[in-house]
Amino acid sequence: MASYTRTSSLKAGLPPGTPVHVGEQKADAVKITVVDYNPEGSREFTPESPKNCTLYRTAETVTWINVDGLHEVDLIGEVCSCFGIHPLTVEDILNTTQRPKLDVFDDYLFLVIKTQTYNPQTFRVEVEQVSLILGDRYLLSFRERPGDAFDGVRSRILGNKGRIRKMGADYLAYTLLDAIIDNYYAVLERVGETIEELEEELVGRPTPETLKKIHLLKREMILLRRSVWPLREVISSLLRDEELSQISKGLYFYLKDLYDHTVHVIDTIETFRDIISGMLEIYLSSVSNRLNEIMKVLTIFAAIFIPLTFIAGVYGMNFNTAASPFNMPELNWFLGYPFALFLMAATAGGMLAAFRRKGWL
Amino acid sequence: MASYTRTSSLKAGLPPGTPVHVGEQKADAVKITVVDYNPEGSREFTPESPKNCTLYRTAETVTWINVDGLHEVDLIGEVCSCFGIHPLTVEDILNTTQRPKLDVFDDYLFLVIKTQTYNPQTFRVEVEQVSLILGDRYLLSFRERPGDAFDGVRSRILGNKGRIRKMGADYLAYTLLDAIIDNYYAVLERVGETIEELEEELVGRPTPETLKKIHLLKREMILLRRSVWPLREVISSLLRDEELSQISKGLYFYLKDLYDHTVHVIDTIETFRDIISGMLEIYLSSVSNRLNEIMKVLTIFAAIFIPLTFIAGVYGMNFNTAASPFNMPELNWFLGYPFALFLMAATAGGMLAAFRRKGWL
Amino acid sequence: MASYTRTSSLKAGLPPGTPVHVGEQKADAVKITVVDYNPEGSREFTPESPKNCTLYRTAETVTWINVDGLHEVDLIGEVCSCFGIHPLTVEDILNTTQRPKLDVFDDYLFLVIKTQTYNPQTFRVEVEQVSLILGDRYLLSFRERPGDAFDGVRSRILGNKGRIRKMGADYLAYTLLDAIIDNYYAVLERVGETIEELEEELVGRPTPETLKKIHLLKREMILLRRSVWPLREVISSLLRDEELSQISKGLYFYLKDLYDHTVHVIDTIETFRDIISGMLEIYLSSVSNRLNEIMKVLTIFAAIFIPLTFIAGVYGMNFNTAASPFNMPELNWFLGYPFALFLMAATAGGMLAAFRRKGWL
Amino acid sequence: MASYTRTSSLKAGLPPGTPVHVGEQKADAVKITVVDYNPEGSREFTPESPKNCTLYRTAETVTWINVDGLHEVDLIGEVCSCFGIHPLTVEDILNTTQRPKLDVFDDYLFLVIKTQTYNPQTFRVEVEQVSLILGDRYLLSFRERPGDAFDGVRSRILGNKGRIRKMGADYLAYTLLDAIIDNYYAVLERVGETIEELEEELVGRPTPETLKKIHLLKREMILLRRSVWPLREVISSLLRDEELSQISKGLYFYLKDLYDHTVHVIDTIETFRDIISGMLEIYLSSVSNRLNEIMKVLTIFAAIFIPLTFIAGVYGMNFNTAASPFNMPELNWFLGYPFALFLMAATAGGMLAAFRRKGWL
Amino acid sequence: MASYTRTSSLKAGLPPGTPVHVGEQKADAVKITVVDYNPEGSREFTPESPKNCTLYRTAETVTWINVDGLHEVDLIGEVCSCFGIHPLTVEDILNTTQRPKLDVFDDYLFLVIKTQTYNPQTFRVEVEQVSLILGDRYLLSFRERPGDAFDGVRSRILGNKGRIRKMGADYLAYTLLDAIIDNYYAVLERVGETIEELEEELVGRPTPETLKKIHLLKREMILLRRSVWPLREVISSLLRDEELSQISKGLYFYLKDLYDHTVHVIDTIETFRDIISGMLEIYLSSVSNRLNEIMKVLTIFAAIFIPLTFIAGVYGMNFNTAASPFNMPELNWFLGYPFALFLMAATAGGMLAAFRRKGWL
């Protein structure tokens, strides 16, 4: 939680626009990959020096430069300066505690998105920041660490599958966004499975462990929501703003589809939140029901023995039967003991009958 | 729940626009029915091959092609290609986890709607997706399985009842939407009856079973709401957007009526939600009241016996009366035992009186 | 509740615009009354046949046709056809499960309003639907049963009181709406009185009956809210839409006043809801406080007797005092019994003091 | 509460615009005061007859007519008729159950505001209605009873302090509104002090009395909110509507300031509401914590004595030691009694240790 | 809390625009510092008399006048009058209970902002008000006390670091706002750390102290939110209003960045609020779980001993075995005592088995 804000304070006191890497270092070394393509062909390579990137700013081909790892501030700065990126954008790329957003600059669009991927090594969902810079014929993408989320897109370009080689950098950006949103579905699926498991636990025998899981799930939904809500605004403003020169008209239906998917994700998150709230209520009332049932049975149990013990206590009194005929004559009766036992049995039976009549059993 | 999202991840990694059937297969075979009509006449038939559909794209008659079953991806693709449908639309038709929505394309409108029908075989409400494609003189409808929801409309066309044969494809689409919304009323009615039954249970003797039913109802309302809210937006945008060439001016009042019905359905859902929340509160407080009543009575019961048992215990002590005149002289009194019994009765009576005076009984 | 939706399903499968009476039959026979007036004079009569109504559509006088009872579908249909009313409007008039709304047609405005009247025979608030059709110089009103809500307006017309005879059909419609909203005030007053009574009960001795009343009140507020909120939208759109030819400019201040009253009613409903929620909280915490108080006192009571009974139990043990000088020598002490009683009294006193010091008493 | 709506029903059945005094009579006699001023001079007097007011409608000076007391319907009517006030306005002035609002008429603006003043005689906040009618060079103010809220303004006019004499009637209206909002601050201050006192009570020893006070405060905030929220809308529409001829351009900054103050008041109310809700939670959980603590200690106390009493009971059994060497040989042991006492002490000690190890103590 | 409103009532009765210092005096003496700069040079000095400030109103250099301490009303007034500041603005500067806001005057913009700084001396977050007046080439800043928040900015100007010397007064204002928002991040970080600590406490052994801390945190979030929400509106209107002559076009990206940061702060506050609410729930349910566990174990414990004590009581009865063979023959059995002990053990064992079978253990 706090890790969302912790390192931001490193920047307090620095002039705005100073490039500082804010966040964990998640990659060993910064790795730059260039994919350059047009309908006729494509190639992928690692540039020798970031300065060579300048060539691609004005090239006729579509150029996709992907940067994995953000801790080498100068390197990132050089790549950005090739494309005339504003210092504030560079600062935002390096600060991984950003909120998803769209900034419209004269030359390019700047998008910050959060991805959520399930890391099988750590068994946890990991939030990562992806920054996209969309220019006229180039796309820069910055990620915190290398990953396979964009591999499918890369192989489609290099293998010339689908329509991607025929489209511009805007379609490439759309494809990357689509891949990121598909990842959200995967996370939601996992959450949905967990919900189903928890519901079976709730129907069976819920334990305090169940409660802990429900709360963890609830918090995960809070964080997920925090990532996706602003994403919807981002795509919505891409759709609305018709004067963005970087987005071609033909992309409208694709962006609309992307928007629908985002709304669907949000919708599912909200439904899950409602269901999780309901599960919490069920848990609490079922635990309380269960305990009440136990307490009720035990209290009734105790209530039945209380008068019996009292009777036994009475006949355990030591009044001197010799001193007076009124002093506990039952003790000397021929059937005194059976009478006492019968009295106890009758009392217990009468109480059971009364409790049953009142519907307490 | 999870089934809403589970199969979506099949698509992760595929290029956007790839047609994949996402969802359960609910029909044995895909069945295509064509209803072709104009004011003069009408006919219904099953086309030999989906390719024949191309004829109807430009025909002067109104053509309604209904497809039941979505698992034969190629067949659906062929039907759609006859009418020049966008790949993204085909993808959406095949993905049954969509959210209700309206997509406006140049040639056609694409609507996704959720129907909720009560299946008497499974005793459950089943959610199904219906996709409508409304072109100039044709309407394509895609359903997950065959059903009778559209039979009334079909027989009205074939039997020339009402004004349907005189109107265009837009009126046909409206009639299908109207039939779907009428189904929501049926579901709400069943919910309303269940609420009434539960209220009688609540007034009578509520059981943990009642609680389970309330929670099931609550969840059903969450899912119902999720289906209907976006439907309202869909119809609202049909109403607002005056430049949709597929919708004729004369349909305005019908769509307005449809909109009012949808708002009424939403309104009823919200009222039901409020009432169900109130029922939950009543249940919880009534169960807790009931238990408290039992606990109170038993505690008072125990409290009365506690001093009596103490008195019996005192006179059960074995102090040697012979050792001193101070040692339990009561044991040798002539009326010792009656005195002890009277002491007990007086104590019990006094406590009962005190409890009654305090209003605890 | 369920009765809100129950009979709506009668219509499932029928073509849209089919006139069916949906709702309870609340009147014995349908009764039509015509009031016809201009600044010079006025008259009231029952037309022989609904067909005669056609005359009034174009007459120079203002004509108010009131219909009480909705179950004779054909009769209503004939009245409406005289004025060229759209089939969807006729369907809506007959369906008494509508939501308050305003439909703007070319020739007329169609308003659906809910009235709430206190029926002293049944001791319950009854919801009724009133439909108004406002044309250029005519007003049609449809009610579910005869009532006295409009009597004041009728007598003002016939007795030429106030400015009503000098104004058009729009002012007449305003006056009827004003009468309906005045009825809401009466209902709210009754609710306000019930709240005051319940508050006195809460301050005094609250019973489970009090809880039931609070819940009933809460539900009544839900239903009331459901009737009034859409009414506000209706009047608001009458105010906003300046191109409605049926509404003259001079009516603006009156409609604004009506709007203010509606907002005031809504405001009061919301305040009542807040107060009722607060009362529920007070009830629950006061009941729980009360029970806790009882339980605490009884538990302390029991706790004091437990060690006393233990002491009595100890001196009731049968160790053979003759076998050893260590075996319960107290039993043979001269002051053994007083010592035991003192021990008990001291224990009880000490515990009482400890409890008091801890603030438990 | 109910008094908000009670007397409104007096009007049911009357034609709209009928002047009826709705509300309590709070003043002995209606008192009219006229303050007439321009930059050169000012005078204050009580007019002989309300008819004389007509003079001031067109006079070049600024005229402020203040009316205290609303029960003399005819008098109010006469004053209003001098200035050509609409009958609906007169009706609203007399009805003290209005909601704060702004009505724009051709000749004048009509404002209804609620004041809340702390009455040291009754120790309660009293809500009063103030109506302002702002014309070109006149301002009419109507209050339910005489008060000192406007005295400061009057003395500033008569003493020519500040810029008030140089400004128009709109500035005068602003000054009165400013005085009313300053009163809200005073009420909020009192509430803030009460909150501080209650917090000290909560930290110390909270009683059911504390709960009652929290609930009273909560309700006071509901009512306060109900008065101030619409006031914000009123001032906001004064700011927005640039075509109001009664408001001069120069007043903009003053109204903006007024608006900021109102938003500040609302903001404080909302913060107080949040804090009061938090206090309620603290109270409930602290009371429940306290009770639980008591119950836990007592239950543990009882649990320790239960086995001890059982042991005493065992050695109180009357098995015939003479009949068999197996029958309670302990009774005849030399150290039988010390052994039993030791057994009891060991049991108690063991249980205490176990409870402590489990963290229950 | 109350201190937010307490001193505001000092002003009740005073004419609007009267300069009164509302708030605590936090500085010893009012200190004025002037920083005057252009791209060529810069100097910092303390003016001899506030009247000298007039020079800077029209100077070609950018002038930043910072005032620390607000209690010398006349001094502040003189500074303001040099720049032709409106009396209402002066009043607002002096009143430290303002809400963050933006007032647009013809000559200048007036901003009120709240800063939150962590005071290590008092271990508390302290809220302070900063007022900024932005004119064409001058910026006035007013703070309640001297602090180091602006030191970084000052040293950047004097040391000519970054682009600040080349930009106008609007960039200076932006830099100060940026410094203030950076401070919010620091506060949020501290809150985040506290949340992490509290979560560890919750997982470990929560105490009533934990609850108190959660509530304190909750309230701090309420107050924080109250400071930041309006700030968002302020920056948003700076962004939207394109006609503000004081803001140059080139500042747009900087303000957009500032806006994003503010939204990020708000977002984090909302997430923290959600998480804190969740923690409260976890605390309450974990405390209640824990208590229930104790109560359950103890009740079962008691329930097992109840029948044992009863059996002991039965064999403690004093029936005369000599009077009849039916009177407690067990007492004279050879294995009577072992039989009784076995009976007790069997009862206890049977109950334990039954409880275990029911899942109560």
Enter the ipTM: 0.73
- B303-315 residue pLDDT tens: 899 999 999 999 9
Q: Could you tell me how many CB contacts below 8 A there are between chain B and chain C? A: 172
Contact check, Cβ <8 Å, E182/A2? no
The stretches in chain D having pLDDT less than 70 are 1-13, 118-124
The pLDDT value recorded for residue E52 is 72
Query: Which residues of A fall within a CB distance of 8 Å from E275?
Result: 1, 219, 222
Percentage of the residues of chain A whose pLDDT score is greater than 90: 22
Chain C neighbours (≥3 Cβ pairs under 8 A) are B, D
Contact check, Cβ <8 Å, E331/D318? yes
Residues D150 and D231: beta-carbon distance below 8 Å: no
Chain B neighbours (≥3 Cβ pairs under 8 A) are A, C
Q: Could you tell me how many CB contacts below 8 A there are between chain C and chain D? A: 176
Percentage of the residues of chain B whose pLDDT score is greater than 70: 94
Query: Which residues of B fall within a CB distance of 8 Å from A282?
Result: 211, 215
Query: Region E172-181: what's the mean pLDDT?
Result: 92
Rounded CA-CA distance C295/C301 in Å is: 10
Q: Which of C162, C196, C253 has the CB atom closest to D15's CB atom?
A: C162
Q: Do domains A2-286 and A293-357 have the same CATH topology?
A: no
| Interface-testing mutation among A3, A7, A8, with chain E (most E C-beta atoms within 10 A) | A8
* CATH tag, A293-357: 1.20.58.340
Contact check, Cβ <8 Å, D9/C256? no
Other beta carbons less than 10 A from residue B354's beta carbon? 10
Contact check, Cβ <8 Å, E286/A1? no
- The position carrying tokens 């201050």 is D189
Rounded CA-CA distance B151/B148 in Å is: 5
> By C-alpha distance, which of D311, D310, D307 is closest to D348?
D307
Chain D neighbours (≥3 Cβ pairs under 8 A) are C, E
* Separation in Å, CA B189 to CA B72, B129, B306, C4: 36, 21, 56, 9
The pLDDT value recorded for residue B341 is 92
**pLDDT tens-place values along chain A, 361 residues long:** 334 444 455 565 677 777 888 777 777 788 899 999 988 888 888 888 777 777 777 778 899 999 998 888 888 888 888 888 998 899 889 988 888 999 888 889 999 999 887 665 555 677 889 999 999 889 999 999 888 888 889 988 998 888 888 888 999 999 999 989 888 888 888 888 888 888 888 877 788 788 888 888 888 888 888 888 899 989 988 888 777 888 888 888 889 889 989 999 998 998 898 888 888 888 888 777 777 778 888 888 888 999 999 999 999 998 888 888 888 888 888 888 999 999 999 999 999 999 889 877 7
Question: Nearest CA to CA, how far is A281 from chain B (Å)?
Answer: 9
Alpha-carbon B147 to chain mean position:
20
| Interface-testing mutation among D108, D286, D294, D311, with chain C (most C C-beta atoms within 10 A) | D294
Contact check, Cβ <8 Å, C189/D9? yes
Percentage of the residues of chain A whose pLDDT score is greater than 70: 94
- B159-193 residue pLDDT tens: 888 888 888 899 999 999 998 988 888 888 888 88
The pLDDT value recorded for residue A3 is 45
Nearest-Cα residue of chain D relative to residue C318: D316
Domain boundaries, chain A: 2-286, 293-357
Chain A neighbours (≥3 Cβ pairs under 8 A) are B, E
User: Looking at domain E294-357, which of 1.20.58.340, 3.40.1350.10, 2.30.30.240, 3.50.30.40 is its CATH number?
Assistant: 1.20.58.340
Strand A62-68 with A138-143, pairing: parallel
**CATH topology for D2-286?**
Beta Polymerase; domain 2 (3.30.460)
Helix (H) or strand (E) holding E41: strand E41-45
Query: Region E15-28: what's the mean pLDDT?
Result: 77
C11 HSE (CA, 13 A, CB side): 28
**pLDDT tens-place values along chain C, 361 residues long:** 434 444 455 565 677 777 888 777 777 788 899 999 988 888 888 888 777 777 777 778 899 999 998 888 888 888 888 888 998 899 889 988 888 999 888 889 999 999 887 665 555 677 889 999 999 889 999 999 888 888 889 988 998 888 888 888 999 999 999 989 888 888 888 888 888 888 888 877 788 788 888 888 888 888 888 888 899 989 998 888 777 888 888 888 889 889 989 999 998 998 898 888 888 888 888 777 777 778 888 888 888 999 999 999 999 998 888 888 888 888 888 888 999 999 999 999 999 999 889 877 7
**CATH topology for D292-357?**
Methane Monooxygenase Hydroxylase; Chain G, domain 1 (1.20.58)
* More confident: E299 or B118: E299
pLDDT band at B72 (very low <50, low <70, confident <90, very high): confident
| Interface-testing mutation among E154, E318, E333, with chain A (most A C-beta atoms within 10 A) | E318
pLDDT reading at B1 higher than 60: no
Q: Which of E2, E295, E341 has the CB atom closest to D196's CB atom?
A: E2
At A6, list the tokens.
Answer: 């912790």
Residues C86 and C217: beta-carbon distance below 8 Å: no
Provide the residue type at A359 as one letter: G
Contact check, Cβ <8 Å, B317/C315? yes
Q: Buried (b) or exposed (e) across D122-144, using 16+ Cβ within 10 A?
A: eeeeebbbbbbbbbebbbbbbbb
The pLDDT value recorded for residue B188 is 87
pLDDT reading at E344 higher than 90: yes
Contact check, Cβ <8 Å, D312/C307? no
Q: Could you tell me how many CB contacts below 8 A there are between chain A and chain E? A: 177
Angle of helix A252-314 versus helix B252-314 axis, rounded to 10 = 20
Residues A208 and B17: beta-carbon distance below 8 Å: no
Give the torsion through C-alpha atoms of D263, D267, D268, D273, to 10 deg.
140
Q: Which of A195, A253, A313 has the CB atom closest to B313's CB atom?
A: A313
- The position carrying tokens 């006195």 is C200
- B14-69 residue pLDDT tens: 777 778 887 777 777 888 999 999 888 888 888 887 777 777 777 788 999 999 98
* More confident: C205 or B227: B227
The pLDDT value recorded for residue A120 is 52
The pLDDT value recorded for residue E172 is 93
At D49, list the tokens.
Answer: 């007859």
pLDDT reading at E141 higher than 60: yes
The pLDDT value recorded for residue E121 is 58
The pLDDT value recorded for residue A308 is 92
What secondary structure, in 3-state letters, does chain B show? CHHHCHHHHHHCCCCCCCCCCECCCCCCCCEEEEEEEECCEEEEECCCCHHHHHHHHHCCCEEEEEEECCCCHHHHHHHHHHCCCCHHHHHHHHECCCCCEEEECCCCEEEEEEEEEEECCCCEEEEEEEEEEECCCEEEEEECCCCCCCHHHHHHHHCCCCCHHHCCHHHHHHHHHHHHHHHHHHHHHHHHHHHHHHHHHHHCCCCHHHHHHHHHHHHHHHHHHHHHHHHHHHHHHHHHCCCCCCCCHHHHHHHHHHHHHHHHHHHHHHHHHHHHHHHHHHHHHHHHHHHHHHHHHHHHHHHHHHHHHHHHHHCCCCCCCCCCCCCCHHHHCCCHHHHHHHHHHHHHHHHHHHHHHCCCC
Contact check, Cβ <8 Å, A295/E295? yes
Rounded CA-CA distance A358/A347 in Å is: 16
Contact check, Cβ <8 Å, A294/E289? no
* Separation in Å, CA C159 to CA C64, C162, C163: 15, 9, 11
Give the torsion through C-alpha atoms of C74, C78, C79, C85, to 10 deg.
110
The pLDDT value recorded for residue C130 is 94
Rounded CA-CA distance C350/C303 in Å is: 12
Query: Which residues of D fall within a CB distance of 8 Å from E219?
Result: 275, 278
- The position carrying tokens 């005149």 is B325
Contact check, Cβ <8 Å, A310/B315? no
Nearest-Cα residue of chain B relative to residue A358: B294
Residues 6+ apart with CB under 8 A from E249: none
* Paired strand residues for B104: B109
Query: For B62, phi and psi rounded to 5 degrees?
Result: -90, 130
* Separation in Å, CA C195 to CA B275, C211, C229, C279, D8: 20, 12, 22, 9, 17
pLDDT reading at B195 higher than 60: yes
Query: Region B267-278: what's the mean pLDDT?
Result: 88
Nearest-Cα residue of chain C relative to residue B164: C15
- C46-89 residue pLDDT tens: 888 777 777 777 778 899 999 998 888 888 888 888 888 998 89
Residues C22 and C8: beta-carbon distance below 8 Å: yes
Residues E232 and E263: beta-carbon distance below 8 Å: yes
Rounded CA-CA distance E139/E83 in Å is: 10
- C307-358 residue pLDDT tens: 999 999 999 998 888 888 888 888 888 888 999 999 999 999 999 999 889 8
The pLDDT value recorded for residue A52 is 72
> By C-alpha distance, which of C188, C33, C183, C19 is closest to C96?
C19
